[in-house]
Structure formats: C-alpha cells, structure tokens
Amino acid sequence: MRLWFGSLLSVVAATPAWAHASDKGFVLLLPTHYYIVGGTLAVAASFLLLLAVSDSFLRRIAAARFDLGVWPALPRTAISAASFLLLVLLLIAGVYGSRDPLSNPLPLFIWTVWWGGLTVAQALFGNLWSFLNPWLAPYRLIRRLSGDTGSSPALLGYPPWFGYGPAILLFLGFAWFELIDPAPDDPARLAEAIVIYSAITLAGMVLFGERAWLAKGDGFAVFFRFVALLAPLRAEPVEPDTSTGPSRRYRLTLGLPGRALLQFGPLPLSGALFVLLTLATVSFDGLDKTFWWLGVWGVNPLEFPGRTVLMLPNSLGLIGAWLLLGAAYGLAMGLGGRLAGGRIDIGTLLGAFVLSILPISIGYHFAHYLTSFLVNAQYAVFSIDDPFGWGWHLLGIADPHVRVSFLSDMNSVWLIFSAQAGAVMLVHILAVLLAHLIAIERFPDKRAALASQWPLALLMIGYTLFGLWLLAAPTIG
C-alpha cells in the first residue's frame, strides 16, 4: 500500500509548477474523510465549549498582553520609495525579460512573494503594507513638487456615499484578473495591469487625498489593513519622551490573534461587502479548479481546454459565490438577531460581526498557496540571478535547480496536507471565538449573546466542511 501510494505521488509530483498558485493534485491520494469529519467536529466542539466558559474569562484572554518593548518608528516614505524602485525594476523585467513566467521575476514576485507570502505575513506581523506600499512615495513626491506641504486640502472631498465602493471594484477587478483572465502569469500582460492599477491609485490619492483614498478607495490598502487586524503583534504609539526628542515610538505587544478587530467598530454595508468579497474570492479560487465545477459546465478535466473557454462561467461563478456568501451570512445575522430578541438591526449586526470571518479568508489563502509557495519561491530566487534572461549571474548560481522532491515523499506530503487542513480548522475556531467575543460586547445579556451565535456557528461549521472538502477535492493540475 505504501509503495502504491508513493508511486502515485511520484507521478503527481512530476506535473509542472506554475507561477500562479499551483494545483494540489497530490491531496487526492490521501484518506481525507477522517480529517473532514474530525475538523468539522472540532469547530463544533469549540462553539459548545464557549457555552461553558465565563464571559469574564474570555475578556481576560482578549485583553492579555505580552510587552515586547518600545521601538522607534520606521521611515514609511523611505521604505515606500525602495518598494517603488523594486516595482519599477520588476516592471522592466516584465516587459523586456523572459516570456517564461517561471524565469521572469515579475509574475513570481507578484503572485508568489507578494500575494502569496505578504498576505500571510500581514496576518502575523501587522500592517507591513502601510510601509511597503510602492505608491505612497511617488504621491508624496508629486505633492511636494506641486508646492503642497501636506496641510492643503485634497482637490476633491471623498464622497461619503462612495463608502468602500472603489475598493470593492478594484479588488473585484484584481480577483477577475487573477482567477479568470486567460494569462495572468504572462509578464507583459501582468506589467500592463500593474501600470493601470498604479495610475488609478495615484489618481485617487491626488484627487481625494492620501488618507481618504487609502482608507476606503484602494483595494489593496483596505484589504491589507483588514488582514493586519488579525496579527498577534500590535504596535501602539507612545507619547514622545522630551528628554530624547520628539521622534515617534511604538510599543510592541503580543496578544490574542484578532484582538485589534474587536476594537475596530462596526463596518458600513459597503465595508461588510468588501470583507465578504475577500472570502468569496479565495473560496472560488479553489472551487473553479475542481472536477465538480468543470463537470457542471461540461468540461472534461482530463482534457482541460484552458481558461478562455471558461471565462463566462467563471465570471458568473465569482459573482455568484460573492452573492451566495453574502446571502448566507446576512441570513445568519438576521436569524441571530431575531433569536437575541431583535434589539439590533441586521445592518448593524452584519457590520459588527463580518470582521470575524477574516481568519477564514487568511486560512484558506494559506492552505491554497502553501504548495505553490514552497516551489515557486525557489524560482523567484533563481529569477533574480538573471532577471532579464541575458545570461547574467548576479547571485552566482551556476546551476539553478528547483527542488520538488518533497512532493514525491509520502511523509512530507502528509505534513504539508496536515498543515493545510490544520490551518483551515484553526482559523474557523478562531473565527468562532472572535464572533463570540464580539457578541458578548454587543449583547450585555449572556443568554442573548449565545442565542445570537447559533446561526453563525452553524454557518461556520458548514463552511469548515466546505473548506476541508475543497482542500481534498480532485482538481486540474
């Protein structure tokens, strides 16, 4: 049995790795029904356990801090300038470098290092994107060259009725390009998309101001800020010490993951829709590659014709996933509010609780990108050695060789798969805990708080089942 299992792994591991998230065909060979049932029961048990734990104990857990000391503020503009310079170099490589997405550094750094890696880093270490944002420094340079010292108002006031609408449209456009466009890995095509997004971002900051646009208009700034709310690390400003000068400093603390979102406050409807879009996107990112989804549209997964044939079905599927998730979550909130006595309207409940699903988005993201990151991060390093395909050896790598042998070893594959399944299970448990912490603050009556959580708990248990099935489902590879 072990020999048969290992032989099949070898065949699957021989499939090529793509610059975009590589498919996870090897998971088809694992006995998945055990972890699907076990993971779903673990999430259900975590909710039942919360029924027996006192609110005061949960509040103490949420308030617990481990002080890591006071640290000086980092130079945001300087870091952004370095990030912008790196982006320019990557764009040049995208236009003039190799056409191979596994040799050109642009698709490798965008899809693997930035989207695959930075998103997870945000959830661990906080809002790194506020420093790495490459468009911040150019905007501030434009403002300085125009004679604006920073005190002048923006050209236009950000319309309140916009809400998070621009961020939704930009993130949806990004998701469509990533999941549905025929060639998101093509270096020149990707470079063109980045230039267009850069122009929109700079125009938004020039018209509405840096603070307003990054707060609600820029899809990535909004997304990464929400993700950073999950970080166990948190930097809080401290009063400057007059004896050492007026430099800004921050106190770094370690605490419960997601504690920052407990203080964020309810989101407006557009903000809630944005958060739901992030989960729908990463969920559909796995669903659209399954044999089941391809079968719905009459496509033979063993003779996959390419993305172009599925552009319309996948476009409808992406929007449908968003609408379906929004309807399910809205129904859970409505039922929860009714069970709690109907004292809080559904809009307020939706805005208050929707941030609690952020851990699920990041857990799915981690599980989806883990295998591709382990392989394509190696390609990314090797691409730096010769970024333009001109025969350079900047890193002195004489014979670059990507190691994928771990994909043909049963033990390492089981370890990777366990990490993926464990992440999906743990983030659902964290989501249940965060939702309960929000409930006990929103509903002073413990009975009402618990009653409000039953529909949401059932939804999260169902989503756990879906996520674990998705992780194990047969996919094109």
The sign of the CA dihedral 62, 68, 70, 72 is: negative
Helix, coil or strand: residue 477: coil
Count each helix (H run) and each strand (E run) in the chain, helices first: 19, 3
Q: What is the 3-state secondary structure (H, E, C) of 248-307?
A: CEEEEEEECCCHHHHHCCCCCHHHHHHHHHHHHHHHHHHHCCEHHHHHHCCCCHHHCCCH
**Structure token pair of residue 377:** 């991060």
Please name the residues in contact with 214: beta carbons below 8 A apart, sequence gap of 6 or more: 133, 205, 221, 222
Q: In this structure, what DSSP letter does residue 29 have?
A: G
Q: What type of residue sits at position 288?
A: D
pLDDT value of position 216:
94
pLDDT value of position 32:
61
What integer best gives the mean pLDDT of the chain? 85
Q: Which of 107, 116, 106 lies closest to 86, judged by CA?
A: 106
Helix, coil or strand: residue 25: helix
Beta bridge partners of 233: 254
From the number of C-beta atoms within 10 Å of its C-beta (0-12, 13-18, 19+), residue 250 rates as middle
Q: Which of 372, 351, 370, 334 lies closest to 226, judged by CA?
A: 351
Please name the residues in contact with 238: beta carbons below 8 A apart, sequence gap of 6 or more: 70, 249, 250, 251
**Structure token pair of residue 136:** 């911040």
Residue 186 contacts residue 108 (beta carbons within 8 Å): no
Residue 335 contacts residue 197 (beta carbons within 8 Å): no
Predicted TM-score (pTM) of the model is: 0.88
Q: In this structure, what DSSP letter does residue 32 have?
A: T
Angle at CA 38, nearest 5°, toward 36 and 39? 65
Q: How far apart are the first and last CA of the chain?
A: 24
Which residue ranges make up each domain of the chain?
2-472
From the number of C-beta atoms within 10 Å of its C-beta (0-12, 13-18, 19+), residue 403 rates as exposed
Along the 477 residues of the chain, how does pLDDT read in single tens digits? 333 333 333 333 333 334 454 444 444 445 566 667 777 777 788 878 887 788 888 889 888 999 998 888 889 999 999 999 999 999 999 999 989 999 899 999 999 999 999 999 999 999 999 999 999 999 999 888 887 766 667 788 899 999 999 999 999 999 999 999 999 999 999 999 999 999 999 999 999 999 999 999 999 999 999 999 999 999 888 876 554 555 678 889 999 999 999 888 789 999 999 999 999 999 998 899 889 999 999 888 888 888 889 999 999 999 999 999 999 999 999 898 888 876 677 888 888 899 999 999 999 899 889 988 999 999 998 888 878 877 777 776 767 777 877 777 778 888 888 888 888 888 988 998 999 899 888 887 778 888 888 888 888 888 888 888 887 788 886
* Phi, psi torsion values for 74, nearest 5 degrees: -85, 150
268-318 residue pLDDT tens: 999 999 999 999 999 998 899 889 999 999 888 888 888 889 999 999 999
Helix, coil or strand: residue 141: helix
